Amino acid sequence: MAKKSGMSIGPDSILQACVAVFFIVAGILGIQAYNSNLSGVMRFLGRHDTLTIVVAIVELVIGIVLGLAFFVRIPSSIAGILALVFPVLWAVWIVLAWFGRDAFKPDFLSWLNGFVRDLIILVALWISSRRLGGGN
């Protein structure tokens, strides 16, 4: 079957756009929170939140790359690496965030709701990342 050229808009394109916007906004919010006065005071008092800014920057990069992929073809070698790296990074973040500290708190159902929400984002990121190089 011949492959169509050009961009088509379908559910997978809409999903990719939503995931891109999600990660761009999450990255911006994370950077803003890191630079807030309260965070500065907490760092002064000894709180180490380097991981927070690293995650925010990675989220921003993921969102920008997924958004740019609508306009710029990413070489397949790079797209293949990113399609693996982006979901793995998010999966690592899920493990750290949901199992690293305060697991199952404040109560199991609230914890499960947030955990499953991040799993849904992981699957959406996985699907969107596979499309980076114009792949399946």
| Digit-coded pLDDT (tens) for 94-103 | 999 899 878 8
Instruction: Calculate helix-pair angle for 50-68, 11-34, nearest 10 degrees.
Output: 150
The residue to which tokens 């499309």 are assigned: 131
- C-alpha 62: how far from chain center: 6
pLDDT at residue 59 in the model = 95
Q: Give the pair of three-digit tokens for residue 88.
A: 């793995």
Say whether the peptide bond before residue 11 is cis (omega within 30 degrees of 0).
no
Q: What stretches in the chain show pLDDT beneath 70?
A: 1-7, 38-39, 42-44, 133-136
What pTM was estimated for this model as a whole?
0.81
pLDDT at residue 50 in the model = 82
